[in-house]
Amino acid sequence: MQVSRSLPSDQGSATELLNYFVSVRAKTLDLCSSLEVEDFGVQPMADASPPKWHLAHTTWFFEAFLLKVFKENFQPFHESFGYLFNSYYIRVGQPFPRSDRGNLSRPTVREIMDYRSETDGKVIDLITDLGRVDQETRQEILSVLRVGTEHEQQHQELLITDLKYNFGNNPLYPAYRADKVEHLIEDPLEQDYEFHEGGLFELGAGDDGFAFDNERPKHRTYIEPFLISNKTVTNREFLQFIEDDGYKRHEFWLSEGWALLQQKRLETHPLYWRNIEGVWFEYRLDGLFPLALELPVTHISAYEAMAFANWSQARLPTEAEWELASAKRVIAGNFLEKGLFHPKQPSLGEANFFGNSWEWTSSAYSQYPGFRPLDGALGEYNGKFMSSQLVLRGGSCLTPERHIRRTYRNFFYPPDQWQFTGLRLAKDI
């Protein structure tokens, strides 16, 4: 199998990348440390995979794209794992059906842990023996290692959001973490609209440093003057939309979203809100609690975000507007490392464009001018999904901080709610 000769360069030293790899692999296991063995195999819906599958798939990625290609006399851990844990890479084989991942009681969790441990050892051996290969091969190995490590960080977020769908639809509302998290603060940030004069703007990632292929190439785009909110929409504001019959008034909704509402394929509230005897509650990863009104609203679809924006006499920002507005912001916020596992109330002095919840934009997920996917099997990573989805920006409370960039393009379908998704308002001048 040929792996791309156009992978991102400038990955850092072998020692730095190996330490990065080891720390990320350990973090994934740490995220699973509070789970019971019964939790590892549950697939609560077709789009959400069991924790066991995430643990195995991220391991298969290193096996398929790194060890199988570059390690001499490589023998796979199990011949069938390349079928069971391939997600969508058709060039390396036919994947096991996504909707059936939760039907596999075997391999066991213990076998998956052994798979991870053995694969980690092989990767470490490969990287520590790089002195035996030529410079071009060395660079390609390090590039694949970096992609695989970033890929695992994506799955850290997916693992927990998929697990939340399981726990959040369980009548017991089990807590992922035992301790209740206090989110409220004394000095909340008041909403204000920031003016941006627009103009010719360079959108996307440059040639230096790591970025996925869908973030490149950097290119010029013209942006009209606009206003953008300094904070995302809160539960209080979204509740006002609900109480004003926002889910019953077709004039706020795109036709497709309205049709899904009529078919009862969309809830009439954010995904994890529960109305119990007239009182609103929200399931968080620390349990079920009365709705905290000043927290950012999250787990909403793009259709809900657009309807709320229309109701507010505003709109969603484009991804170019979002990137321009965030250009002078420090990339800091409520990320995975904070350990809150839920959006927090923003305060004065915070970045407010990064962390908490992914922010829907109105931009279709498509290729930038001059886009070229990676050669070989890794070319399937992003490019083939550039249809019928919207771009989200900024990261969430489950995104590792090192993983995010201001040019990072996440993408989901408009009805999707199970990720930490929120919205920020924008207006024309």
Residue 363, H or E segment = strand 358-364
Q: Which fold has domain 193-428?
A: paralog of FGE (formylglycine-generating enzyme) (3.90.1580)
The residues pairing with 195 across neighbouring beta strands, listed in sequence order, are 227
Specify the length of the chain in residues.
Answer: 429
Distance between alpha carbon 164 and the CA centroid of its chain, in Å? 14
**pLDDT digits 0-9 by tens, 107-142:** 999 999 999 999 999 999 999 999 889 999 999 999
N- to C-terminal Cα separation, the chain: 53
Burial 297-329, CB ≥16 within 10 A → b, else e: bbbbbbbbbbbbbbbbebbbbbbbbbbbbbeee
Query: Residue 186: its pLDDT value, please?
Result: 62
Distances 233 to 51, 266, 335, 351, 416 between C-alpha atoms, Å: 31, 20, 18, 15, 18
Each residue's pLDDT tens digit, 189-217: 888 999 999 999 999 999 999 999 999 99
Question: Measured between alpha carbons, how far is 81 from 324 in angstroms, rounded to an integer?
Answer: 43
The tokens of 225 are what? 């003057």
Burial class (CB in 10 A: 0-12, 13-18, 19+), 9: middle
- Are 420 and 299 in contact by the 8 Å Cβ rule? The answer is yes
Give residue limits of the domains in the chain: 14-168, 193-428
pTM strictly above 0.85: yes
| Residues 1/376, Cβ–Cβ less than 8 Å | yes
| Helix segments in 245-365, DSSP class H | 255-262, 302-311, 319-325
- Other CB atoms within 10 Å distance of the CB of residue 386: 15
| CA–CA separation, 102 and 125 (whole Å) | 33
pLDDT of residue 190: 83
| pLDDT value of position 185 | 62
| 420 close to 351: Cβ distance less than 8 angstroms | no
pLDDT computed for residue 76 by the predictor: 95
Q: Does domain 14-168 have CATH number 1.20.120.450?
A: yes
Nearest to 46 by CA among 107, 8, 98, 122: 98
pLDDT value for 191: 85
Which ranges of the chain have pLDDT less than 50? 1-7, 9-10
Structure tokens at 369: 């001018």
- Distance separating alpha carbons of residues 196 and 321, to the nearest angstrom: 9
| Residue 52: alpha-carbon gap to chain centroid | 18
**CA nearest neighbour of 393 among 359, 367, 362:** 359
Q: Which pair of tokens denotes residue 378?
A: 């890794």
